[in-house]
Amino acid sequence: MPPPPASSSPFPSQQRSYGPSPPVAAPLGYQLRDQVQHPGSAPPIGGAQSLAEDFSSLSLASTPGSIEPGLDYRTLPRPLDGDVEPSSFVEMYPMTCNPRYLRLTTSAIPNSQSLASRWHLPLGAVVCPLAEAPEGEEVPVINFASTGIIRYRRCRTYVNPYVTFTDAERKWRCNICSLLNDGGYFANLDATGRRIDLDQRPELIKGSVEFVAPLEYMVRPPMPPLYFFLIDVSISAVRSGMIESSLTQPQMLVVSDLDDIFVPLPDNLLVNLSESRNVVETFLDSLPSMFQDNVTVESAFGSALKAAFMVMSKLGEKLLIFQNTLPSMGVGCLKLRGHDLHVYGTDKEHTLRLPKDIFYKQMATDLTKFQIGVNIYAFSDKYTDIASLGTLAKYTGGQVYYYPSFQSGIHREKLRYELARDLTRETAWEAVMRIRCGKGIRFTSYHGNFMLRSTDLLALPAVDCDKAYAMQLSFEETLLTNQTVYFQVALLYPLSGLLYTASCGERHIRVHTAAAPVVADLGAMYRLADTFAIVSLLCRL
């Protein structure tokens, strides 16, 4: 699901100034006494007075949907014109990362579970680790070289602007776990007590930085970007022709045994685009005519998927699937669902949106293990069970593009734009992501397209600048005693040769750090609420 926009709404994401409170109306009983009169007739003796007294005795707070007792409605936020950043929040935490990377549903963390329960909205965060930054606001890259990346011994947090230094800068305290660390990061102080190298240390003044990872962070050398296309032509999915760079025209290899898949010429099925561009273009030009006489109505998608996996397993990267027909042959065949009309409108209707065949979940697990991300382009005017096919994208960090009743004249531009965006946007391969938070709270549920490798480690075979992930917060302690809670997102990924040249072959760790105050006031939570983050998280629940 795409990340919430940073500033596209007339309402502020985190509001600071508020307009005047609306005038308080007179009690309903007194309004009736003065205004409810019927021309030409007098009210019954004592009737109006009795009615006024009855209405005056009603408690407005007892009506359904009323303001909660103990909450001053005058402290609730009012809509403003423009996207106004709360000045006091910016002044308090000037080194917090930009909200394009990390947004909290409210930038005021409740100090207790009881206050959080009165919030009645999701408490959590939305993270877009590779969000596009405007020119001039790029994330700085830091290389510690032989000294190694500065991290904390206990919680493994990366050094950030919110660490505190003691003992003449010889020791520093972690802002996440409060552990005091010794040595390795010493610098002299100037006359004002600042580190003399502070301006040359982006990691101490920037909320978002990118560290060059040493060799111990690499499982294998970064692979070149690879895109593998699995195409269902016409109404039949077949194993398309793969080409060698030395060929002058594409060749097609046919595997007829759907139950015992093997890959012919496994070392010659992938080509370098710069060397074989003409051959690839020739194939694309001839593709419509190659299968124009095809009358096969069956689809062996599952078998073709396994063959693609065999080809890509050594390198990984991105598999793009173009599917038009319900898989009906070989492994992973699916059947029509939803034709039983009695299911609709019942508590069982949601089962139609759940995966039917475990084959695709197992394939997604294998694809993730070998760092293969899957994007699915579904074109169909009939039932294709996208709930089952979409499992491949869900657990590999991919995406599903759906074109119902696809017609070239209508959907051509949409397909062209989305495919071009898919192939050219900034993408990280073989990535893992973890988000850490301060004492007393933790993230318990994660939402998005990924494979959860451990309780808090997200495996992302492919992640790009359009991908966002949501997570929900819960309390580990009844009462938070600290005044500030810190959050840190760390994304480890290799640089792609498609996007980088001199730095190709490195792995980077992108780190975003944010801070939020701990409050005991429900009104403060509403004032610092982020509507975009709330809606984004709600849509994923």
Measured from the Cβ of residue 371, the count of other Cβ atoms closer than 10 Å reads: 25
Q: Starting from the edge strand earliest in sequence, which strands make up the sheet with 171-173, in order?
A: 164-166, 171-173, 180-182
Neighbours of 28 (CB within 10 A): 14
In 3D space, the residue among 489, 512, 506, 511 whose CA is nearest the CA of residue 212 turns out to be 506
What is the tens place of the pLDDT at every residue in 348-388?
Answer: 888 878 888 899 999 999 999 999 999 999 887 778 889 99
Give the residue from 136, 120, 119, 139 showing the smallest Cα distance to 128: 139
Extract the tokens encoding 127.
């993270």
- Comparing 141-219+427-540 with 227-424, is the CATH topology the same? no
**Residue type present at position 387:** A
Distance CA 106, CA 108 (A): 5
Give domain limits for the chain: 19-76, 141-219+427-540, 227-424
Q: Identify the pLDDT of residue 196.
A: 78
Pair of tokens at residue 36: 């409810």
Phi/psi-derived region of residue 531, left when phi > 0, alpha when psi is between -120 and 50, beta in every other case: alpha
DSSP secondary structure string, 241-301? ----TT-SS--------SSS---SSGGGS---HHHHHHHHHHHHHHHHHHTTT-------H
381: its two tokens: 């005017």
Helix (H) or strand (E) holding 180, with range, is strand 180-182
DSSP 207: S
Instruction: Output the pLDDT for position 68.
Output: 58
Which of the 8 DSSP states describes residue 476? Answer: S
CATH assignment of 227-424, among 3.90.180.10, 1.25.10.10, 3.40.50.410, 3.20.20.10:
3.40.50.410
pLDDT of residue 38: 40
Smallest CA-to-CA distance from 482 within 513, 505, 515 is with 515
Task: Name the residue among 527, 520, 523 with its Cα closest to residue 110.
Answer: 520
Residue 19 has a pLDDT of 42
Residue labelled with tokens 């660490």: 163
How far is 541 from 415, CA to CA, in rounded Å?
28
CA contacts within 13 A on the Cβ side of 125: 31
Q: At what angle do helices 358-369 and 301-312 cross, to 10 degrees?
A: 10
Q: Are 482 and 439 a contacting pair, CB within 8 Å? A: yes
Question: Given this model, what pLDDT does residue 148 score?
Answer: 80
Instruction: Provide the pLDDT for residue 88.
Output: 56
pLDDT the model gives residue 255: 54
Domain 141-219+427-540 of CATH type 2.60.40.1670: yes
Spatial separation of the C-alpha atoms in residues 414 and 316, rounded to whole Å = 28
DSSP 3-state assignment of 381?
Answer: coil
Q: Are 209 and 149 in contact (CB under 8 A)?
A: no
Residue ranges, the chain, pLDDT below 50:
6-45, 55, 59-65, 81-83, 86, 234-250, 497-503
Cβ(285)–Cβ(194) below 8 Å? no
Q: How far apart are CA 209 and CA 510, in angstroms?
A: 6
